Amino acid sequence: MDSEPPSGAASGRRAVMPPRMPRLVDVAEAAQVSVATVSRALNDSRTVDPVLAARVRTAAARLGYRPNAIARNLRRRGTRVWALILTNIDNPFYTALARGVEDAASEFGYSVLLYNTEEEALRERRYLEAAAQERVAGAVLVPRANNSDASALLDAGIPVVVADRRLDGCGDFVTAASYEGAVTATEHLLSERWRRPACISRPADTPTAEQRRQGYQAVVDRHGLPAIVCQIPFHAQDRAWMVEDLLDGDDAPDSFLTIDSMLALVVLHALRRRRLRTGRDVGLISFDDPAWAQVVEPPLSVVAQPAYEIGVAAARLLVERIRGVPGAGPRTVTMSTALIVRGSSRRPPHAKV
């Protein structure tokens, strides 16, 4: 048996100990009822005498009683917590997605654990494991790559909703129509009479990036144009150089499709150093619609994704999964993208090549 300090007074308690929080029994004692009655009064007060219920609530309030979620979770065998595992909270797209998830979770009565993998496989593995040990009620996962392994969660029977980047055999999936968006964007560049569009993308093991690259490629192929693809690692130090090298090469592009807004920044940096202007010397269109898109000169043309709504949709699927019958097959929700033409993708009538 444990040797607890005498609970009688301050005698056995060291001064440095945090104050012991009131428990159900304390409330019960104060209200002169049993713990069962307190528990019932505080949860489903239907089956409890209103008079007693009031007495209980008064006592609870007076003592500053706060239910211990740990004990409750143990007894209920489940938490009211979700894990949100994503690759890079700095990317405004994921920031918005996170807001959507958090917002909806809060509405459904869940708290959310944020795990930022920084696109690192090791961290992702650690986090999936941590989430499983925390016995989260569910998880929204943006996998690092197509070989990410969510089995730590799945084996534990924890529902997982995958967001943004496909991951097979992993339950539900919410994403935007990446391929179609890339097709639209590339066709837009061509309709503006750009003839050598480049696709600035991410490593090929990033599913969504790869789909966008393919959408781009399909269009340039169909038009008999060369595919100019540049896959920039997430952790590259010399990102701007890669674009500048591209511009210096023999087969320099005359326009760009960037598959996320951080790459648009990279391209804009490179262009600035080369003293090239978008919407004039070169064309530029990017996936995502970051807050700054409308304050650059000229404003940035984009393929906007409903990032916040994707987060909300993921949350909705997750609650259904948690409440619902596991029998139901995996569902995929594909949100549509929106082409927003601003200035950066335009090509002036008499531009030189």
Provide the binding-site residues for a second copy, judged by CB under 8 A. 15-16, 18-19, 21, 64, 66-71, 73-74, 79, 81, 84, 89-90, 92, 95-96, 98-99, 102-103, 106, 111-116, 123, 126-127, 129-135, 152, 155-158, 262, 265, 268-269, 272, 290-292, 294-297, 325-327
CB of 258 to a second copy, least distance (A): 12
* Residue closer to DNA (CB basis): 48 or 209: 48
In the complex, which residues of this chain contact DNA (CB under 7 A)?
1-4, 20-21, 23-25, 33-37, 39-40, 42-43, 47-49, 51-53, 65, 67-68, 70-72, 74-77
d(CA 215, CA 282) in angstroms, rounded, equals 21
CB of 109 to DNA, least distance (A): 13
Strand ranges, E, within 67-195: 81-86, 111-116, 138-141, 160-163, 172-176
Given a contact cutoff of 8 angstroms between Cβ atoms, the answer to whether 83 and 115 are in contact is yes
* Residue closer to DNA (CB basis): 4 or 250: 4
* Residue closer to a second copy (CB basis): 82 or 216: 82
CB of 337 to a second copy, least distance (A): 20
Residue 129 interacts with, from DNA, a second copy, none (CB under 5-8 Å by kind): a second copy
Residues in the chain: 353
Q: Angle at which helices 24-31 and 50-63 pack, to 10 degrees? A: 120
* Residue closer to a second copy (CB basis): 49 or 129: 129
d(CA 195, CA 197) in angstroms, rounded, equals 6
Residue 325 interacts with, from a second copy, DNA, none (CB under 5-8 Å by kind): a second copy
* Residue closer to DNA (CB basis): 14 or 77: 77
Q: Containing H/E element for 7?
A: none
Tell me the CB-side half-sphere exposure of residue 227, using CA atoms within 13 A.
15
CB of 65 to a second copy, least distance (A): 10
CB of 93 to a second copy, least distance (A): 12
Within the chain, how many helices (H) and strands (E) appear?
A: 12, 12
* Residue closer to a second copy (CB basis): 71 or 121: 71
CB of 214 to a second copy, least distance (A): 27
Residue 287 interacts with, from a second copy, DNA, none (CB under 5-8 Å by kind): none
Nearest to 103 by CA among 335, 306, 313: 313
Q: Which long-range contacts (CB under 8 A, 24 or more apart) does 263-266 make?
A: 263/200, 263/201, 263/202, 263/232, 263/239, 264/288, 264/290, 264/300, 266/200, 266/232, 266/239, 266/240
Tell me the CB-side half-sphere exposure of residue 95, using CA atoms within 13 A.
9
Residue 99 interacts with, from a second copy, DNA, none (CB under 5-8 Å by kind): a second copy
CB of 307 to a second copy, least distance (A): 11
Residue 106 interacts with, from a second copy, DNA, none (CB under 5-8 Å by kind): a second copy
Given a contact cutoff of 8 angstroms between Cβ atoms, the answer to whether 177 and 336 are in contact is yes
* Residue closer to DNA (CB basis): 77 or 350: 77
CB of 299 to a second copy, least distance (A): 9
Residue 4 interacts with, from a second copy, DNA, none (CB under 5-8 Å by kind): DNA
Q: Are strands 172-176 and 138-141 parallel, antiparallel or unpaired?
A: unpaired
Neighbour tally for 177: CB within 10 Å: 17
